[in-house]
């Protein structure tokens, strides 16, 4: 029951965070191109080259989040290896 | 012309830089990039952390980049110790003024005062060979009053000839020393404030990662990583406690319990951890950028966890952007997590092999809601500020919720 409430909470938050127009955007993305494969030529990589599109697009924000969650939760890692240790967990 | 060449070079290099978060990120074709950040983290009635993060990236040659990270934290407040607040008769740890670390709070064993600073430095060097091979060497050191860490890592990434797919692999070794602020570590299951003080704890952590990053189409990148690692050595928290309790009415547990003793916790000396992490970035038709990731984690302490992270960056004219963020996290409890050691069990079989009442090993759910607002100055830098609220809910712990406010101000400056 608690799990179901959480999942519903997640969906509600996603709707609130993104707004209807964005949901349409996301919907289009999912159905149109998010999972579609395309042979991309070098000159078609302009959008992919932008900093915003990097999978880690803000290093200091990611670093801070990793530290916060590492200190408060049992699960960690997944994005990479290395970096400084911390006595907080 | 030079600018176009740089952008093309960046477009080529960007693929390479996706696979390994720890690798030196492209400095946007510029010679230098400096990113500075101030973070304030405040829990309700608990811990406050102020953090400075500084990052410098520079191209030392056509094929080599160096990245230096500096982190300085000040931490203070109080944190649950794992003990139950039922008896005020236990001796408190006396901490020399200004010595940092933990001490019992106001005569209560359930919350420990906390004060410390942390300085961390890491250096990474990345070398690119024949445009499709990239190797990264990194080292790091982190020092606190009661903790020291030293790490080495290396990562390798290779593009396919079409440069549509990047394969990557990495390995890291971290060597930690753990001690209390007053020195040494407590004897496992010693009664609180008594027992032997052992030498400082040492542990080694080995981590490996294997990843594939793929261009799915001209607006979407996808990545999947498999990570596995091993912690070996002293994994107990030298400050954490666990209580022994007796039911007030054995026939009616709802009547509550009484705390009969408090002990230092004891954890296993190894931990095998693994995870699968999937990440995706996508530019939508409206020129917004979506980041979506999911991690499935498991370890041999029986902790299983799901993490979902979602961000959507709305980009506006003039370089302004607004980026809502949502994160969901859950975990099962570690197999030796206990609210307390029951008196009945203790009298029959003595101490369990391992036991911890650390709330971070309890069954947990967490949500994060936040927003990141900023402005990009093309070719010059980026300013951003974010505010987030994190909430944790613990299934069994004495303190069953925790809330934190995160405020972070960052500015990135590019130099020719």
Q: What is the pLDDT of residue A9?
A: 52
pLDDT digits (tens, 9 = 90+) for B370-380: 999 999 998 89
Q: What is the pLDDT of residue B291?
A: 97
Highest mean pLDDT pick, A13-17, A53-57, B88-92: A53-57
Integer Rg of chain B from CA = 24
Which of B100, B99, B152, B149 has the alpha carbon at shortest distance from B120?
A: B149
With a pLDDT cut of 70, the percent of chain B lying above it is: 87
Residue A54 located in a structural domain: yes
Rounded to whole angstroms, the Cα distance separating B131 from B381 reads 26
> Per DSSP, what are the bridge partners of residue A69?
none
* A17 or B307, higher pLDDT: B307
Range of the domain at A68: 2-72
Q: What is the DSSP letter of B250?
A: T
> What digits encode the pLDDT tens for the residues B161-170?
888 999 999 9
Here the CATH number for the domain that contains residue B249 is 2.40.160.40
Q: Which residues of A touch B221 (CB under 8 A)?
A: 48, 53, 55
- φ, ψ of residue A58 to 5 degrees: the values are -140, 95
Instruction: Please report whether residue A77 resides in a domain.
Output: no
Mean pLDDT of B119-144: 95
Query: Which of the given ranges, A17-26, A68-77, A80-89, B254-263, has the highest pLDDT on average?
Result: A68-77
Is a pLDDT exceeding 50 seen at residue B61?
yes
CA-nearest of B362, B333, B345 to B244 is B345
Give me chain B's average pLDDT, please: 88
Q: How many domains does chain B have?
A: 1
CB contact under 8 A, A86 and B313: no
Confidence grade of residue A74 (pLDDT, cut at 50, 70, 90): very high
Q: How far apart are CA B137 and CA B121, in angstroms?
A: 14
Distance of CA B325 to the CA centre of its chain: 18
What residues of B are in contact with residue A62 (Cβ under 8 Å)?
A: 21
Instruction: Give all strands (DSSP E) within B99-256, no chain letters.
Output: 101-105, 108-129, 133-144, 147-159, 165-178, 185-186, 197-198, 201-217, 220-233, 241-247
Contact by Cβ (8 Å): B272, A77: no
Interchain contact, A84 vs B18, CB within 8 Å: no
Q: What is the rounded distance in angstroms from the CA atom of residue B128 to the CA atom of residue B71?
A: 27
Taken in order B217, B221, B224, B225, the sign of the CA dihedral is positive
pLDDT at B385: 98
pLDDT grade, residue A82 (50/70/90)?
confident
Boundaries of domain holding B7: 2-415
The answer to whether residue B14 scores a pLDDT higher than 60 is no
* pLDDT tier at B318, thresholds 50, 70, 90: very high
Q: What is the mean pLDDT of residues B132-141?
A: 96
Q: What is the pLDDT of residue A30?
A: 55
Q: Is B7 on the interface with A (CB under 8 A)?
A: yes
How many interchain CB pairs under 8 A, A with B?
281
Contact B71 A18 (CB under 8 A): no
Give the Cα separation of A73 and B332 in Å (integer).
11
**Pairing mode, if any, of strands B341-342 and B241-247?**
parallel
Instruction: Tell me the average pLDDT across A48-52.
Output: 92
Angle at A61 between CA B320 and CA B54, to 5 degrees: 105
pLDDT at B335: 98
B140 burial (CB, 10 Å; 0-12 / 13-18 / 19+) is buried
Judged by CB atoms closer than 8 Å, whether chains meet at B312 and A28 is answered as: no
* Pick from A8-22, B52-66, B211-225, B385-399: least confident: A8-22
Model confidence over B181-232: pLDDT tens digits?
889 999 999 999 888 899 999 999 999 999 999 999 999 999 999 999 999 9
CB B339, CB B360: distance < 8 Å: no
pLDDT of amino acid A5? 46
Residues 6+ apart with CB under 8 A from B84: B109, B110, B243, B245, B257, B259, B340, B398
Which pLDDT band, with edges at 50, 70 and 90, does B258 fall under? confident
Q: How confident is the model at residue A89 (pLDDT cuts 50, 70, 90)?
A: confident
B216 vs A37, A46, A61: nearest CB: A37
Total count of domains within chain A: 1
Using an 8 Å CB-CB cutoff, list chain A residues near B150: 85
Using CB atoms, pick whichever of B71, B275, B281 lies closest to residue A53: B281
Asked, for residue A68, whether it belongs to a domain, the answer is: yes
Please state, in angstroms and rounded to a whole number, the distance separating the CA atoms of residues B399 and B81: 10
Q: Are strands B165-178 and B101-105 parallel, antiparallel or unpaired?
A: unpaired
Helix (H, G, I), strand (E, B), or coil: what is residue B34? strand
């Amino acid at each position: 029951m608690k799990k179901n409430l959480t999942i519903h909470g997640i969906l509600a938050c996603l709707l609130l965070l993104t707004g209807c127009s964005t949901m349409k955007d996301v919907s289009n993305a999912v159905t149109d191109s998010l999972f579609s494969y395309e042979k991309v030529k070098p000159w078609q990589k302009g959008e992919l080259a932008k900093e915003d599109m990097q999978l880690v697009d803000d290093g200091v924000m990611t670093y801070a989040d990793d530290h916060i969650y590492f200190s408060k939760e049992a699960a960690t890692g997944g994005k990479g290896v290395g970096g400084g240790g911390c006595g907080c967990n | 012309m030079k600018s176009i060449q740089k952008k093309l070079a960046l477009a080529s290099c960007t693929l390479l830089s996706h696979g390994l978060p720890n690798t030196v990120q492209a400095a946007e074709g510029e010679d230098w990039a400096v990113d500075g950040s101030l973070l304030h983290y405040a829990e309700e009635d608990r811990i406050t952390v102020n953090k400075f993060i500084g990052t410098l990236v520079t191209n030392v040659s056509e094929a080599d980049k160096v990245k230096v990270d500096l982190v300085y934290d000040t931490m203070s407040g109080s944190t649950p110790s794992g003990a139950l607040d039922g008896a005020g008769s236990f001796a408190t740890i006396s901490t020399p003024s200004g010595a940092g670390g933990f001490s019992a709070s106001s005569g209560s064993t359930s919350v420990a005062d906390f004060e410390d600073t942390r300085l961390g430095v890491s250096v990474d060097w990345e070398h690119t060979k024949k445009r499709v091979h990239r190797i990264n060497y990194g080292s790091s050191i982190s020092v606190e009053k009661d903790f020291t860490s030293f790490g080495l890592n290396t990562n390798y990434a290779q593009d396919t000839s079409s440069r549509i797919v990047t394969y990557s692999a990495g390995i890291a070794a971290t060597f930690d020393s753990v001690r209390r602020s007053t020195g040494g570590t407590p004897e496992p299951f010693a009664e609180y404030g008594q027992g032997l003080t052992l030498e400082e704890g040492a542990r080694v952590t080995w981590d490996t990662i294997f990843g594939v990053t793929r261009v799915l189409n001209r607006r979407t990148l996808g990545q999947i990583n498999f990570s596995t690692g091993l912690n070996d050595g002293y994994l107990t928290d030298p400050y954490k406690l666990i209580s022994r309790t007796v039911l007030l009415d054995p026939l009616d547990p709802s009547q509550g319990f009484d705390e009969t003793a408090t002990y230092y916790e004891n954890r296993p000396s190894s931990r095998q951890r693994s995870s699968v992490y999937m990440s995706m970035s996508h530019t939508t038709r409206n020129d917004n950028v979506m980041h979506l990731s999911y991690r499935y984690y498991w370890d041999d302490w029986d902790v299983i966890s799901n993490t979902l992270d979602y961000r959507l960056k709305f980009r506006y004219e003039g370089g302004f952007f607004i980026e809502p963020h949502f994160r969901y996290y859950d975990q099962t409890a570690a197999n030796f997590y206990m609210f307390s050691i029951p008196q009945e069990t203790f009298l029959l079989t003595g101490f369990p092999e391992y036991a911890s009442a650390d709330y971070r090993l309890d069954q947990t759910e967490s949500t994060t809601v936040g927003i990141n607002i900023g402005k990009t100055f093309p070719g010059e830098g980026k300013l951003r500020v974010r505010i987030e609220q994190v909430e944790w809910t613990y299934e069994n712990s004495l303190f069953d919720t925790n809330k934190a406010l995160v405020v972070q101000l960052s500015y990135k400056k590019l130099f020719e």
